[in-house]
Structure 1
Amino acid sequence: MGVLEFHGQQYLDGHASDPREFGWMRGAPPPVDKRITFESDCFRSFPRIRWSLSHMRELTATVNVWRGPGAPSHFERHLRTSDIEALVFTDSNGCRRRFDEALFDTYADGIVVLHRGRIVYERYFGELEPHLPHACHSVTKSYAGTLAAAFVHEGVLDDSKSISHYLPELRSTAWEDATLRQVMDMQTGLAHTETYADEKSDIWAYSRACGFRPRLAGYDGPQTMCDYLQTVCKEGRHGETFDYLTVNTEVMTWVMSRVTGHSFAQLLQERLWAPLGCEDDAYVLVDSAGMPMAGAGLCTSLRDLARFGELMRCEGVWNGKQLIPASVVQDVQNGDHPAKVSNGSYRSQWWVTHNELGAIEARGIHGQRLYIAPKTEMVVARFASHPLASAEVGDIITMPQMLALGRMLRG
C-alpha cells in the first residue's frame, strides 16, 4: 500500500461544529504531516478522510463489482437547483438554515436528489466526482439486507431457521440459537460492543481481523472475518431488544454466500448492478481471505446509489422488470416491526422512520445516507466526510432538511 499526499480543498462555510479543530480550513496553516497511509491509520482522521473515502481501493484490498456490458440506464434531468438551494428550514435546535448552507455544515461530499425518477438536484464537493466511488459504510447493510430478504421471499433462505443450521462453524458461538430473522433485524444478544469513540470497543477488534484497521506489531488475534465471528459469545436473550451490530450483517451475508455459492460482491453484480444499468463499477473491501465486508465495505458512485434508492421507491421495479420482490419493499415500509428504535423501527437492515413522508433510510458513519420517501416520490443519495464516526451525526440538521425538501417537492 502506497503513501499518498492529501490535497485539501476548502469547503466549510465557517459553521463547523468545532472551530478549534477545523480552523485551519478557514485560513490557518494545514497540518504539517499531510501523508495518507493505511498503516498509520491516519486515513480516518479529518481532513484526510475527505480524500480517503473517495479512494479506498488505493488504501486497502478490494474486489470489483462489475456494472455489466450494457449501456447505463438513463436519468432524465429536470433541475431545480435554485429553488432547492434557496429552501429555508428550521433544524431541531430551532436554527433557521438554507438548504445549500446546511450541506456544508454537515460535511457533504456530494448529493443527488431524484423526484419521480428525474434528477432535480446534483452537486459535488471537495474530492468527490460523479464517477468516483465513495465509501458507503453502513449503507452497505441495506444492500445486503435487501438481498437476504429477497432470498427469503424466493424460498432460498428460511428466516425462521437458526444460524447454526446454515453455518455449523458458528455452533457454540453467540449465533448458535439465533434465527436468521433475528440477525436480519439486529435482535441478537451478543457480548460485543460497537462504540467508535472507544478505542477498546469490540468494533476495532473486528476491524483488525478484517484488515480494515492496522495491526500493531506482534498482533496474534483473528486473521479473518470468519475467524473473528467464531470468537463472539452470547450475552442475554435473542429477540428481546434491538442492538445495532455490524457483525450481525456479516453473519447474515455469510449465510447468503453459503447457500447461493456466490460472494456478496457477485450477488451485487448479478442482482443489482447489471440489471439496474449502473453507470460505474463499484467495489467492496475484503479481508485477507477475500471475503467481502457486507457490513460496511461497499464503495459506489453517487448516481448508482440513487439508482438503488429509486428501485426501492418503486417497490423493486426497474424499467418494467421486478428486480426485488414488491413484498420485500412493502415489508420494510409498512410492516409492524418487532425491532423498535427511537422514532421508528428497523427491518431487514433498513431504518424505518414512519414519518409523514413514509421514509426509509440506509445510513452510514461519517454522514452517508440514502433517504427514500415514497409519499413524496423522492430519493436523496448523499455522501459525506463528517469528522465524527457516527451514523446519527448531523441528524439535527439533516432530518428536518429532508422533511422540508420532501414537502417542497410534494407541493
Structure 2
Amino acid sequence: MRFVDPQEDASRRHEVVRASAPRPLERAPREIDVEIPGAGRSRPFADWVTETHSTSLLVLSGGSVVHEWYADGVGPGSLLLGASMTKSALAHLVGRAVGAGSLRVTDVVGNLVPELAGSGYAGCTVEHLLTMTTGTAWTEDHRDPDGPATRLVACFGGTQERSRELLVQVRPQDPPGTRWEYSTADSQVLDWARERATGQTYAEALGDLWAELGCVRDAVVGVDVAGVALAGGGLAACAEDWLRLAALQLEPTAWAQASSTPTQPWLEPGRLPSSITTHAGFGYHWWPLSADGSRVTADGSRGQFGYADRDRGVAVVKTSLWPYDDPWVDRQQRDLSYLGLPLVAAAVG
C-alpha cells in the first residue's frame, strides 16, 4: 500500500472527494525551537522530525500555518495516506450525523443494519462502535497474513472480495461495553450504520465536509469492488487538509469534547493495553492524551498523526513512513512521536 499519492496505484480502486470550494490557510511562518527528550536522550526539533521518519509536518496556531515542512519527494500537493487517521475523519462524519438528528449514539446497530442481525454487532450501539467496546471476537494484527484484519484490508486491494461480507461473519465474545479492543471492523460497521442513517456514502459525506472546511486539494479514499470505502484506513489527503481535520478538535463544540473524552476510566490515557500505547486513551475514534480531552490525536499506522491542543489552540499534522515490520521499532517511533507532539504545540502556543 502506497503512503504517498496512493491514487497512482492502478491496481487499487479509489473514489475522489472533490475540493469544490478551496480556501487556502494563511501562512505566518516562524521558527520552532524545542528539545524533544525520549528513547534515552534528547534531540532538537529538526532531528526529531527526521529521526521519526516524517514525510510532512505542519503546525497551525492562531488560525495560520506557522510551520510547514516536507521531506524530499513530498510537497503541498501530495496526497498522504492517513491510514487509521481515516477513523478520526469518520468520527467527524458521525458527529455531523448526530448533530443533524439522523443518528444517535444510543441507536442499536442491528436496527440500522439488519444484515448484521446474526453477527456480534447486532446488539451493539453506535457508541460501542465509536469507543471500540463492541466485545466482538476480533484480532487487529496486520502482520498476520491470515488474520481477520489482513483479510478485511485485502478487500480494498483490487480483489473481488466484498468487505461487508466479512463483517457479517464477526462473532460475539464479551458483552458490549465491557472490553476495549482496537478494531478496524468496528470502524467499517460504524460507517455502515452512519451510511444507513444518512443515506450518504463515506465519500459523499466527506465531500460535504471538504467544501465546508475549504479543503484545497481533491482527496481519494480506497473502495472495494462494491464501492464501499475503507473508512477505517483508506483516506489520502494533502497535509494542509489533514491539518483542517485535526483543527476541528479545537472547536468548542459538544461533539469535539465528547469525541476527545474517554467514556470509562479504563479508556483513559495509560489504561489501554500497553502493547497499543501507554501515552493515550480512547474516545470516539480519537486518542486523548489527557483525561479531560483537551489534548487529543488521530493516529495512523507508520506515523500518521493529527494532534490538537485545545487549551493552546494549536494543531499539528505529522505524516511519516517509518519501518513497520519490527514491532519494537514501530513502538519506539510511535512513543517518540507521542512525546514530541505536545512539546511542539507548547513551543508555538
What CA distance in whole angstroms lies between the structure 1 residues aligned with 2:292 and 2:286?
Answer: 17
What CA distance in whole angstroms lies between the structure 2 residues aligned with 1:362 and 1:78?
Answer: 24
Deviations 1:102-155 (A, max 9, x none): 111111111101111111111111332101111010000011112213322332
What CA distance in whole angstroms lies between the structure 2 residues aligned with 1:332 and 1:357?
Answer: 8
Counterpart pick for 1:181 among 127, 143, 151: 127
Q: Which protein shows a greater Rg?
A: 1
Deviations 1:326-371 (A, max 9, x none): 1101223456546615424322211111179921110000100000
What CA distance in whole angstroms lies between the structure 2 residues aligned with 1:207 and 1:311?
Answer: 27
Q: CA RMSD in A?
A: 2.1
What CA distance in whole angstroms lies between the structure 2 residues aligned with 1:356 and 1:79?
Answer: 30
Which residue pairs with 1:61 in the alignment? 13
Q: Secondary structure at the match of 1:227?
A: helix
Q: After TM superposition, where is structure 1 displaced by more than 6 Å over at least 4 residues in a row?
A: none
Deviations 1:236-266 (A, max 9, x none): 2211011110010110101111121111000
Q: Verify: 1:388 aligned to 2:321, yes or no.
A: no
Letter in 1 for 2:245: F
Counterpart pick for 2:303 among 363, 367, 382: 367
Structure 1: gaps of 5 or more residues: 1-43, 45-51, 216-221, 316-325
The TM-score, its normalising length taken from structure 1, stands at: 0.77
Deviations 1:63-107 (A, max 9, x none): 000111x3x2232222113xx1x422311x331111111111111
Letter in 2 for 1:237: P
> Once the 2 structures are TM-superposed, how far is the Cα of residue 307 of structure 1 from its aligned partner?
1.4
Q: Verify: 1:279 aligned to 2:216, yes or no.
A: yes
Deviations 1:284-317 (A, max 9, x none): 00001111110001000000111122232123xx
Which residue pairs with 1:267 in the alignment? 205
Q: Secondary structure at the match of 2:127?
A: helix
Counterpart pick for 1:119 among 65, 71, 90: 65
What CA distance in whole angstroms lies between the structure 1 residues aligned with 2:217 and 2:3?
Answer: 17
What CA distance in whole angstroms lies between the structure 1 residues aligned with 2:266 and 2:41?
Answer: 32
> Once the 2 structures are TM-superposed, how far is the Cα of residue 377 of structure 1 from its aligned partner?
1.5
Counterpart pick for 1:257 among 184, 192, 195: 195
Which residue pairs with 1:14 in the alignment? none
Q: Verify: 1:399 aligned to 2:338, yes or no.
A: yes
Letter in 2 for 1:133: L
Which segment drifts farther, 337-346 or 129-138? 337-346
> Once the 2 structures are TM-superposed, how far is the Cα of residue 380 of structure 1 from its aligned partner?
0.4
Question: Does structure 1 conserve the Cα–Cα contact (< 8 Å) formed by 2:312 and 2:346?
Answer: yes
Letter in 2 for 1:65: V
Change (3 A) 1:202 1:393: farther
Question: Does structure 2 conserve the Cα–Cα contact (< 8 Å) formed by 1:366 and 1:393?
Answer: no
What CA distance in whole angstroms lies between the structure 2 residues aligned with 1:356 and 1:97?
Answer: 29
Question: Does structure 2 conserve the Cα–Cα contact (< 8 Å) formed by 1:164 and 1:177?
Answer: yes
Question: Does structure 2 conserve the Cα–Cα contact (< 8 Å) formed by 1:185 and 1:339?
Answer: no
Deviations 1:39-84 (A, max 9, x none): xxxxx5xxxxxxx21121122110000111x3x2232222113xx1
Q: Verify: 1:332 aligned to 2:270, yes or no.
A: no
Which residue pairs with 2:34 in the alignment? 87
Which residue pairs with 1:211 in the alignment? 156
Letter in 2 for 1:97: R
> Once the 2 structures are TM-superposed, how far is the Cα of residue 188 of structure 1 from its aligned partner?
1.2
Counterpart pick for 1:144 among 90, 115, 130: 90
What CA distance in whole angstroms lies between the structure 2 residues aligned with 1:89 and 1:356?
Answer: 24
Which residue pairs with 1:301 in the alignment? 238
What CA distance in whole angstroms lies between the structure 1 residues aligned with 2:48 and 2:124?
Answer: 42
What CA distance in whole angstroms lies between the structure 2 residues aligned with 1:173 and 1:224?
Answer: 16
Change (3 A) 1:337 1:126: farther
What CA distance in whole angstroms lies between the structure 1 residues aligned with 2:292 and 2:118?
Answer: 44
What CA distance in whole angstroms lies between the structure 1 residues aligned with 2:91 and 2:266?
Answer: 14
